[in-house]
Structure 1
Amino acid sequence: MHKITLVCSVHRENGRCTVAELLKILRAISPEVIFEEVRPTDFDAYYKSRQTLEAQAITKFRESESPRQVPVDQFNDNEATVDLRFTMDRIFDVVEGTSQTYLNLLDERETLTHQQGFQYLNSVVFEKTTESIEEIEDLTIRATGNPDLIRGLQCWREAMKRREAEMVRNIYEYCRDHAFDTGVFLVGSAHKASIVKAIRARDGAEAGLIDWSFTYVDPN
């Protein structure tokens, strides 16, 4: 059975979320395979620029180890997606201007990410806070009665669920065809709750293929 640890990250350094800390986590797990939130078509350019926290940490990890790197994201940034992102910006503005609780939760999440780093990003507390933030977005936008915003938020949620389910599906496909013992799935923390749900949904149908770990790996 393949053992894969889910490690949620951010794409830019923020307080204790640093390249050095993620490198420690990778070394503690010592994965043979690293599944990455990167499109195969973008992979070479992604590593030529090496601008993200994850890319920098993996590059340093590869100085002493030789993991297989597997890009699993297939999200297509087409014209429709650009329009959706514009609508989401409007949605965020509306919710931020309506709910003080929403602003407080955003501030809390940012502060704890800065203070606690990867330990917080991979905690149940982070997952529940993100779910609360999304619930407020849903309730606030429904309350506006604005069909464009309501439809836009629904389309965005559905697009993200498809994206996350596709990443998980690609991991399972790789595991069916390749032998290895230990892997890591590096993904942006905003995807955590949905990724875990997608994993649990698929794991029921393919029990015995992957032993998933959602527990934070303390590298210290």
Structure 2
Amino acid sequence: MRVSLVGTVHAESGLANVGALQAIHERSQPDVIFAEIPASHVDRYKDGSHGSLESITVARYLASHHVDVEPVDLAKPEQKFFDDTKDMFRAVERTSPDYRRLVDRHSVETRAGGFPYLNSDRCIQAWADIYHELLATIEWTGDRRLRELYDLWSQTNERRDREMMRNIALYSARNAVARGIFLVGAAHRKSIIDKSSAGSGTGLPPIEWDLGGFLG
């Protein structure tokens, strides 16, 4: 199966909007859409009530196309995880002007560049710089709790990426479909690319990844 890896944002931002993501779906003509959600969210994702950019796009696409929607993420963590993670990012944002500058620049690039930017090496580097400054700031503060939150957040994302890759490979092995599209936050894109290059490690048939052909 050939899968288009589409880095996204979860809310519309300038040229990264529903219309542009719909156009990617029309060009790709997928047989299955792999969604960065747990199984418990799939109904709201498909009818658009989930509210994310991806969900609204998929709901509109499903109105005129018969396509499977496959949730591939881990179960949603407890609310405390999200609250603690938000606290961590806010603490870094308050402390580091460089972090704020990097995030602001990425936001400007997203609005102006849309999906071509979100699926570019430039975006990968932007996230690498943001995460480097995130960790450097946490280490500079010497705040043990922030470091523990960072480690938990980082480990959780690693588990999520591995699970999403595994579930896509399992779906491919069990279903005779030719084309898929994987909608995932652009910050995950580098990790997914690295894991696809290394192989799934599952013993399942390999996925052929499309990293930019869907842009037209």
TM-score of the pair, normalised by structure 1 = 0.90
Distance 2:53 2:194 in 1: 25
Structure-2 change in CA distance of 1:45 and 1:207 (3 Å)? closer
Structure 1 spans left out of the alignment, 5+ residues: none
Matched, 1:211 2:196: no
Letter in 2 for 1:192: R
State the secondary structure of the residue aligned to 1:96: helix
Counterpart in the other structure of 1:63: 63
Letter in 1 for 2:124: E
State the secondary structure of the residue aligned to 2:95: coil
Counterpart in the other structure of 1:33: 32
State the secondary structure of the residue aligned to 2:214: coil
State the secondary structure of the residue aligned to 2:73: coil
Counterpart in the other structure of 1:9: 8
Letter in 1 for 2:64: S
Structure 2 spans left out of the alignment, 5+ residues: none
State the secondary structure of the residue aligned to 1:76: coil
Distance 2:56 2:80 in 1: 31
Q: Deviations over 1:109-150 (max 9, x none)?
A: 000100111111111100111011101111111122221111
Matched, 1:179 2:176: yes
Distance 2:13 2:3 in 1: 25
8 Å CA contact retained: 1:33, 1:183: yes
- TM-superposed CA distance for 1:19, in Å, is 0.9
8 Å CA contact retained: 1:109, 1:126: yes
Letter in 1 for 2:187: A
Q: Deviations over 1:131-175 (max 9, x none)?
A: 111011111111222211111101110011101110111001111
Counterpart in the other structure of 2:129: 132
How well do the aligned residues superpose, as a CA RMSD in angstroms? 1.9
State the secondary structure of the residue aligned to 1:195: helix
Distance 2:27 2:43 in 1: 26
Distance 2:3 2:31 in 1: 10
Q: Deviations over 1:151-205 (max 9, x none)?
A: 1101110011101110111001111111111111111122222222232333476
1:1-220 correspondence to structure 2 within 5 Å: 2-48=1-47, 49-78=49-78, 82-203=79-200, 209-215=206-212, 217-219=214-216
Distance 1:77 1:207 in 2: 28
Letter in 2 for 1:128: Q
Distance 2:193 2:215 in 1: 20
Q: How many residues align?
A: 215
Distance 1:194 1:129 in 2: 14
8 Å CA contact retained: 2:139, 2:147: yes
Structure-2 change in CA distance of 1:64 and 1:93 (3 Å)? closer
8 Å CA contact retained: 1:7, 1:216: no
- How much identity, in percent, do the aligned residues show? 31
